[in-house]
Structures are given as C-alpha cells and as structure tokens.
Structure 1
Amino acid sequence: MEILDKFKEICTIPHCSFDALQLRDYLVDFAKKSGFSVRIDEFDNIYAIKGKPKICLQSHYDMVCVGDAPNIELIDDGKILRAKNSSLGADNGIGVAIMMDMMEKFENLEVLFSANEEVGLIGANGFNGRIISGRLLNLDSEHEDGVFIGCAAGELIHAKIKASKVPANNRLYELSVLNLPGGHSGLEIIKDIPNSIKILAEFIAKNNGKIVDINGGERSNSIPVNAKGIVICDEIIHSDDRVVVRELGVGEEVLEFGDNILALINSFSQGVRSYDENLKIVRDSINLSRIKSNDGVIELEFFARSMSEDGLERLKFETASLAKLAGFKVSFFERSGAWTPKIGEFANVVLKFMQENNPKVKFQAVHAGLECGVFVAKQNGLEAASIGPNIYSPHSINEHLEIDSLEKIAKVVEKIVAYYQK
C-alpha cells in the first residue's frame, strides 16, 4: 500500500513538536515536485495549492515523542502497525501520508500541513491565510466510525510557587515512577489511566516525606508516563509497586512549601468531571500534565477541556481556587475554543461516502482539540469535517494503527477528493 510506504518514510524523519523542520523541508520538496505552488509562513505551516481546488486537505506534521522517539522502530504484523518502545506518530503522520497520496493523484487540490499542533495548536492559531476552496477535510481523527463536526474547548492552567531550600536532615531517597501506559489527555481521559505525578505525590505524603526535588510529565496533552522525586524522610513505610525507591544517603535541605505542593497535587481530582449521556461523550475533564522544579520555582501544568465555554470557565475557576489556596500563583495559556457541531452540505457529502463503506458511521464530536475548529472560527463560511482511521493510545508507547482501517479511510478520502474535481 503506497500510503503505508509513505508513512514509513515519514517515520525515518525526526518530527517531534518544536523539532520538525526536517519533515517540513521534505514535505515542501514533495509538494513542489507534485506540481504545487508552496508557501511557508512564520509558524512553519505549509500551504500548497494546485489547479482550481474545491476542497482542502489538512493534517499536522509534528508528533508527540514518547519513549525512544524520534528513533522509531516499526513493528508491522500485517494487521497492526506499532513502534518498539516509542510513540508511533500515526497521530498525525497517517493524515500527512494520505494527503501526499492525494497530491500525486489529483490536479485540483488545496493542502495545509500545520505545525506544532501537539503543543497548543500553535500553527493553526498562527495561520493567517485563507482556505480558498471553502471546504476543509481534516485527517486527524482516530475512529473510523465517525465524521467529526465538533470538538472540545481547551486551555492550559499554569500554577507556580517560589520554594527556596530550607535546612533539614534525614535519610535521602530517590523515587521513580516510570513507563506507565500514558495516553491522550482528551481522547483517553475516560479510561482512568494512572497519572505518574499523582502516584508519586501520594507516595511521598503517605511516607511523611519532604521534597528536595520533583519533576514529571512529558506533554501538556498527555497523561504523565514518568515522574521522579528526591525526598528525605525517616524511612519508607508505605510501599507501592509502581514506585522504585533508591536510598542515596543523608539529605540536609528540602523545598520550602513542599507540603503545599503535595497538598495541591493530592487534593486535585484527575480525570473526567462530567459526562454527556445523550452524546455518549465526556463533557468536562482535566489532566495534571507536568510538574517541574527550576531555580527555586515549582511549576504545575493542567490541561482543562470542555465541550462548552461555560464548562471550561468552571474548570479554570475551580482549579485556580484550589491552587491559590495552596499559595500558588495561577495563569492561563493557549486557549482553543469549542467547535460547535453544524451539519452542512460538505459534512453530508463526507458522511455519504463514509457510510458507503461503513453504515455505522455517524456524526460525532470529540473531547479533544481539533485544528479545524480553529480554522472555522477564523474564516466565516468555512465548512469542515474530520475523519481518520482507527488509531489506539496516541501519545504513548502503546500507540498503534489498524492497517485495514487505514485502507478504508484512504479510499473514502480519494472518493471525496474525486467528487470535488468536477
């Protein structure tokens, strides 16, 4: 399958978020060789056009790098494609590969490869161009049974506290929580996947530990896989198989306000806050994404999501109130608005072709951020929909792609693009 070959080629080119310029240049060269006029903007988005298009295909070309990524060793058993001890990058390299295939096959097409989606939809938010075709097919969804026409609002919540070192003397321990399953903090938040930072903080508190240093988490939109801490305490009396303990000797100082830090983490409620029974989708959720210690400052990062603007504001207020009670200063970053579902001509065309292969397909919304929601908000009259093959456990070392599903979606995309060649 040519698309799978293209994806495997993409996997050989490093393209972690904030470090994807090699893939950017590769895609620019490919687009020019395929007869497209190409423009790169200041945010590293790649916009390309050929002929007189009536449809635009869009994917992001950065990936969440977990485990050994960007060194990706593929495992292909003919049915499932995964990577050995790393994220696969099917989110959204598969969308990129499908677009490349369509670029070779069609004469009238508009494409947008956006940059740094996985770190706050930076490329989409920065894009100041116009989708001239007026129809945008996003290829960043991960379930073949849906045509997605709505997505959650999201916002990062940063909480920080100054914590200089104060004298203390006791046994010194290194604590590690490593290689948890991880996962996407929107799509997989309902699975109650363990959070390494929460596990570590609970372990420290139950052992009456005092923090010397603490760091954990990988990405703002991922459930934390790893966390490490240095603590002092009398002895380790409470055990947890997920926490590796190594005694280091004797410690002489700890972080000021360490108890406040532990109190905030341990009192914070991770995961789903409300669920919509009618839509069968998470309505509100929040993930504790990262903690880092740097030059006497402890920073915590939370990612709040909601299917409504009111729900997002409520999550922000509750989390900020809790953090301020523990002495933290709070700020907000990288807000993305909710994409309210709207069924128009284009969405119905996409649904029609999807249902030809799979009668179970229906309109859905997703509890995650989608770039098409940003583009719709920017451009009046733009119609959008999002589809994609079955991709499981993105943003984790368990990420894997269902190959048969890719073949189905690729055929649908080809039919949709062909329909708009008329």
Structure 2
Amino acid sequence: MKILDKFKEICAIPHCSFDALKLRDYLVDFAKSNGFSVEVDEFDNIYAIKGEPKICLQAHYDMVCVGDAPNIELIDDGKILRAKNSSLGADNGIGVAIMMEMITKFDNLELLFSANEEVGLIGANGFNKKIKSGRLLNLDSEHEDGVFIGCAAGELIEAKIPLKMVKYSQKLFELSIGNLPGGHSGLEIIKDIPNSLKIMAEFIAKNGAKLVNIEGGERSNSIPVNAKAVVMCDKISWIDKRVKVKELGIGNEILEFGDNILALINSFAQGVRSYDENLNIVRDSINLSTIKNEDGFIKVEFFARSMSETGLERIKFETKTLANLAGFEVSFFERSGAWTPNVGEFANVVLGFMQENNPKVKFQAVHAGLECGVFVAKQNGLEAASIGPNIYSPHSINEHLEIDSLEKIAKVVEKIVAYYQN
C-alpha cells in the first residue's frame, strides 16, 4: 500500500513537537516536486495549492514522542502497525501520508500541514491565511465509525510553588515508577488509566515521608507514565509493587513546601468530571500531566477539557481554588475553544461517502482538541469535518494502527477529493 510506505518514510524522519524541521523540509520538497505552489509561514505551517481547489486537506506533522521516539522501530504484522517501545506517530503521520498520496493523484487541491499541534495547537492558532476552497477535511481523527464535527475546549493549568529547601535529617529513599500504560488525556481519560504522579504522591503520603524532590510525566496531553522522587522517612512500610524503592543513606534537607505539594496532588480528582449520555461522550475532564523543577519553582501542570466553554471555566475555577488553598500560584496557557457541531452540505457529503462501506458511521464529537475547530472560528463560513482510521492508545508506547482501517479511510478520502474536482 503506497500510503503505508509513505508513512514508513515519515517515521524515519525525526518529527517530535518543536523538532520537526526535517520533516517540514521533506514535505515542502515533495509538494513542490508535484507541481504545488508552497508557502511556509513563521509558525512552520506548510500551505500548498494547485489548480482551482474546492477542498482543503489538513493534518499536523508533529508527533508526541514517548519512549524511544523519535527513533521509531516499526513492527508490522500485516494487520497492526506499532512501534517497539515508543509512540508510533500515526497521530497524525497517517493523515500526512494520506495527503501525500492525494498530492500525486489530483490537480485541484489545497493542503495545510500544520505545525506543533501536540503542544497547544500552535501552528493552527498562528495560521493567518484564508482557506480558499471553503471546505476543510481534517485527517486527525482516530475512529473509522465517525465523521467528527465537534471537539472539546482545552486549557493548560500551571500551579507553581517556590523550590526552597530546609534542614532535616532522616533516612533517604529514591522512588521510581515506570512503564505504566499511559495514553491520550482526552480520548482515553474515560479508561481510568493509572497516573504515575497520583500513585507516587499517595505512596509518599501513606509512608509519612517528607519530599526532597519529585518529577514526572511526559506531555501536557498525555496521562503520565513515569515518575521519580527522593524522600526521607524512618522506613518504607506501606508497599505498592509499582513503586521501586532504593535506600540512599542519610539526607540533610527537604522541600519546605513538600507537604503542600503532596496535599495538592492527593486531593486532586483525576479524570472524568461529568458525562453526556445524549452524545455518549465525556463532557468535562482534567488530567494531572507533569511535575517539573524549573526556574526556582516546583511546577504542577494539569490539562482541562470540556465540551463547552462554561464547563471549562468551571473546571479551571475549581482547580485554581484547590491549588490556592495549598499555597500555589496559578496561571493558564494554551487555550483552545470548543468546536460546536454544525451539520452542513460538506459534512453530509463526507458522511455519505463514509457510509458507503460502513453504515454504522455517524456524526460525532470528540473529547479532545481538533485544529479544524480553530480554523472554523477564524474563518467565517468555512465548513469542516474530520475523519481518520482506527488508531489506538495515541501518545503512548502502546499506540497502534489498524491497517485495514487505513485502507478504508484512504479510499474514502480519494473519493471525496475526486468529487470536488469538477
């Protein structure tokens, strides 16, 4: 399958968020070599156009790098494609590969390869050109049974407290957690995947230990896989087999606000906050994402999502109130708005082609951010829909792609683009 071959070529080019310039240049050269006019803006978005297009295809070309990524060793058994001990990058390299295939087949086409989606929709928020065709087909969805016409609002919440040490002397222990399942903090938040930071904080508190240091998590939009800490206590008596313990000797100082940090983490409710039974989707959720030692502070990051703006504001208020009670200063970053579902002419065309081979396909919304929501908000009258093949456990070392599903979606995309050639 040519698209799968193209995806494998993409996997050989490092393209982690904030470090995808090699893939950017590769895509620019590919589009130009097929007769497209290409522009790259200051945000590293790639805009390409040829002929008189009536449809624009869009995907982001950065990936969440977990495990050994960007060194991706592919495992292909003919049915499932995965990577050995790393994220696969099917999110959204598969969308990019489909677009590359369409580049070779059609003369009237508009394309947008957006940059740094996984770290706050940076490329989409910075893009300032008009989508000439007025129709946007996003290829960043991960379920073949849906035509997605709505997405959640999201925002990063940072709580920070000074990194100050005070004298204290007791036995010193090094703690570590690793190799938890991980997963996407929106799409998979309903699965109650274990959070390494919550496990670590509970372990420390139940052993009556004092914090010397704590760090963990990988990305703001991923459920944490790893965590490590150094603590002081008389002995480790409360056991959790997921936590590895190593005695280091005697220490001489602890974090002044260590108890505040543990209180915040242990009182924070991870996961789904409310569920919409009518849409059969999570309405509100929040993920404890990372803990970092940075710029003289301990910084705790949360990522909140809601299918409504009012829901997002409620979660932000609750989290800020809790963090303030624990003595933290709170800031907000990387806001993305909710995309309210709207069934128009274009969405119905997409649904019709999707249902030709799969009658189960229906309109859906997704509890995650989609760039088309940003583009629709920016451009009055722009119609958009999002589709994609079955991709499981994105943003984790368990990410894998269903190859038959890719073939189905690729054929649908080709039919849709062909429909808009006349």
TM-score by length of 1: 1.00
Root-mean-square deviation (Å): 0.5
Aligned ranges 1:19-418 → 2 under 5 Å: 19-294=19-294, 296-418=296-418
Q: One-letter code of the match for 2:386?
A: S
Q: Determine if contact 1:165/1:296 at 8 Å carries over to the other structure.
A: no
Q: One-letter code of the match for 1:74?
A: L
**1:191-229 Cα shifts (integer Å, max 9, x gaps):** 000000000000000111111111100000000010100
Once the two structures are TM-superposed, the CA of residue 179 in structure 1 deviates from its matched residue by: 1.0
Q: One-letter code of the match for 1:319?
A: T
CA distance in 2, matches of 1:296, 1:382: 45
Q: One-letter code of the match for 1:167?
A: K
CA distance in 2, matches of 1:88, 1:211: 35
Once the two structures are TM-superposed, the CA of residue 295 in structure 1 deviates from its matched residue by: 5.0
CA distance in 2, matches of 1:22, 1:213: 36
Once the two structures are TM-superposed, the CA of residue 286 in structure 1 deviates from its matched residue by: 0.1
Q: Determine if contact 2:163/2:293 at 8 Å carries over to the other structure.
A: no
Q: One-letter code of the match for 2:196?
A: S
**1:43-90 Cα shifts (integer Å, max 9, x gaps):** 000000000000000000000000000000000000000000000000
CA distance in 2, matches of 1:310, 1:296: 34
CA distance in 1, matches of 2:268, 2:338: 24
Q: One-letter code of the match for 2:239?
A: S
Q: One-letter code of the match for 1:242?
A: R
Once the two structures are TM-superposed, the CA of residue 297 in structure 1 deviates from its matched residue by: 1.0
CA distance in 2, matches of 1:94, 1:271: 28
Q: One-letter code of the match for 2:112?
A: L
Once the two structures are TM-superposed, the CA of residue 245 in structure 1 deviates from its matched residue by: 0.5
Once the two structures are TM-superposed, the CA of residue 257 in structure 1 deviates from its matched residue by: 1.0
Q: Determine if contact 1:38/1:47 at 8 Å carries over to the other structure.
A: yes
2:9 matched residue in structure 1: 9
CA distance in 2, matches of 1:204, 1:38: 54
CA distance in 2, matches of 1:171, 1:283: 45
Once the two structures are TM-superposed, the CA of residue 163 in structure 1 deviates from its matched residue by: 3.0
User: Secondary structure at 2:170's aligned position in 1?
Assistant: strand
Q: One-letter code of the match for 1:39?
A: E
User: Secondary structure at 1:240's aligned position in 2?
Assistant: coil
Q: Determine if contact 2:80/2:402 at 8 Å carries over to the other structure.
A: yes
Q: Determine if contact 2:81/2:403 at 8 Å carries over to the other structure.
A: yes
Once the two structures are TM-superposed, the CA of residue 280 in structure 1 deviates from its matched residue by: 0.4
**1:263-288 Cα shifts (integer Å, max 9, x gaps):** 00000000000000111000000000
Q: Determine if contact 2:181/2:225 at 8 Å carries over to the other structure.
A: yes
Once the two structures are TM-superposed, the CA of residue 294 in structure 1 deviates from its matched residue by: 2.9
CA distance in 1, matches of 2:112, 2:163: 45
Q: One-letter code of the match for 1:115?
A: A
Q: One-letter code of the match for 1:99?
A: M
CA distance in 2, matches of 1:74, 1:146: 27
User: Secondary structure at 2:311's aligned position in 1?
Assistant: helix
User: Secondary structure at 2:102's aligned position in 1?
Assistant: helix
CA distance in 2, matches of 1:233, 1:22: 49
Q: Determine if contact 1:163/1:258 at 8 Å carries over to the other structure.
A: no
Once the two structures are TM-superposed, the CA of residue 105 in structure 1 deviates from its matched residue by: 0.2
**1:129-182 Cα shifts (integer Å, max 9, x gaps):** 110000000000000000000000000001000131000001111100101100
CA distance in 2, matches of 1:163, 1:143: 43
User: Secondary structure at 1:105's aligned position in 2?
Assistant: coil
CA distance in 1, matches of 2:352, 2:226: 43
TM-score by length of 2: 1.00
Q: Determine if contact 1:98/1:410 at 8 Å carries over to the other structure.
A: yes
CA distance in 2, matches of 1:349, 1:120: 30
User: Secondary structure at 2:87's aligned position in 1?
Assistant: coil
CA distance in 2, matches of 1:44, 1:38: 12
Q: One-letter code of the match for 1:84?
A: K
Q: One-letter code of the match for 2:368?
A: A
CA distance in 1, matches of 2:395, 2:130: 30
Where does the alignment leave 5 or more consecutive residues of structure 1 unmatched? none
CA distance in 2, matches of 1:165, 1:257: 8
User: Secondary structure at 1:357's aligned position in 2?
Assistant: coil
**1:1-51 Cα shifts (integer Å, max 9, x gaps):** 000000000000000000000000000000000110000000000000000
**1:206-260 Cα shifts (integer Å, max 9, x gaps):** 1111111111000000000101001111110101011011111111000011001
Once the two structures are TM-superposed, the CA of residue 296 in structure 1 deviates from its matched residue by: 3.7
